[in-house]
Amino acid sequence: MFRPLLTALSALIALPFTAMADTPFSLEPVARFEQPWAMAPLPQGGFLVTEKPGRLAHVTPSGAVQTITGTPTVTDDGQVGLHDVALAPDFDRSNLVYLTWVDGAGGGALHLGRGRLDLAGQQLTEFQVIWRADPMGGDGHPGAMIAFGPDGHLFLTSGDRQLGDPAQVLDDSRGKILRLTPEGEAARDNPFPDAPEVWTLGHRNPYGLTFDATGRLWSHEMGPRGGDEINLITPGQNYGWPLVSEGRRYSGLDIPDHATRPEFAPPLLAWPPTVAPAGLIYYDGAGFPDWQGSLLLGGLASQALIRVEIGPDRAREVARWDMGARIRDVAADATGQVYVLQDGSDAQLLRLIPKP
């Protein structure tokens, strides 16, 4: 049972943050894209960037943009298409790259696949599907974010596809966070014997997933009308969607909040005025020493970069910087440089340059 104290703590810290902080950085353009979704810094410099219509792009250290071939066919419709990109923990040896995407009739299914990156040939080789949502279908809300845990397992967010109810059905992969092997199989020691892939349930649309320095897993997800959340993810927990939420239905009707149902894990931070979170990293780099130990996330509707301080059982927004555009993803490279990826047409990848 989730501790009642955490519910009270959530109520204290889940307050709206509206002030824009003084910006401690300038922005340097790196490259431009068409509807980019996610990015992964490469150890040798540069990036892989996904574009929702289906392109995987390689950004060289000099900022040149090249197309990587060998990627899957996707259904580019509304909120779905080609989504996350992640490097295998042993990428330096294996060159394995993981992608998520939606494809198929009836709204399509979320897919997870992997292949070997051949930069010299500008292609993915040996690409194969290693997991597919079952059942498929829905509209939007794919989740589709990847994070590798300290134990090497692959964690995958699977959105509720705007259906709601599947998030509470254990043998339905929608509305869940899954824990898989690097080959796409259910991890052996997951908490639900009757749903062997599932790590947690009761999620709406988790668009951010990251591990902190102590090995804890954090996620954020979009609420329906307000009520965006940051959650500390612990195995076997039910986070309540669609039975509880800190937001309202699009019609304006109320949804019971987490305090009414203590059996559901409450968010550690909720935003009543929506920020529309997208992208999430734990930052411990040298470029911005004051940010070390914080979560960094982008805001779509809020057009912001947001910094959240975290503790053992808390999360608190401490800064929000106006970026003048919707921010789809955030990344940091091995040197601690921070990058943001804008959303939409003719969107920019930008490097944050610390001000003196």
68 or 253, which is more confident: 68
CATH code (residue 231): 2.120.10.30
Torsion of CA 354, 291, 227, 83, to 10 degrees: 70
Q: Cβ(98)–Cβ(72) under 8 Å?
A: no
Residue 190 has pLDDT above 70, yes or no: yes
The one-letter code for the residue type at 281 is I
**Among the options 111, 141, 153, 220, which is catalytic?**
141
Q: Could you tell me the residue range of the domain that residue 65 belongs to?
A: 4-354
Q: What is the C-alpha separation between 163 and 64, in angstroms, rounded?
A: 40
230-279 pLDDT tens trace: 999 999 999 999 999 999 888 888 999 999 999 999 999 999 899 999 99
Does the predicted TM-score (pTM) go above 0.85? yes
Single-letter amino acid, residue 45: G
In 151-178, which positions are buried (b, 16+ CB within 10 angstroms) versus exposed (e)? eebbbbbbbbbbbbebbbeeebbbbbbb
Query: How many domains would you assign to the chain?
Result: 1
pLDDT at position 19 is 56
- Whole-number average pLDDT of the chain: 94
Q: Is 83 a catalytic residue?
A: no
Q: Provide the pLDDT confidence category of residue 343 given band limits of 50, 70 and 90.
A: very high
CA separation for the pair 42, 267 (Å, rounded): 32
Mean pLDDT computed over 194-199: 98
Share of the chain above pLDDT 70, in %: 95
Measured in whole angstroms, the distance separating CA 324 from the mean position of its chain's CA atoms is 21
pLDDT-derived band at 1 (thresholds 50, 70, 90) equals very low
The per-residue DSSP string of 149-206 comes to: -TTS-EEEEE--TT--GGGG-TTS-TTEEEEE-TTSPBPTT-S-TTSTTEEEE--S-E
Dist. CA 209–CA 10, nearest whole Å: 20
> Which residues make beta-bridge pairs with 45?
none
pLDDT band at 105 (very low <50, low <70, confident <90, very high): confident
Average pLDDT over residues 195-212: 98
CA 331 – CA 38 distance, rounded (Å) = 9
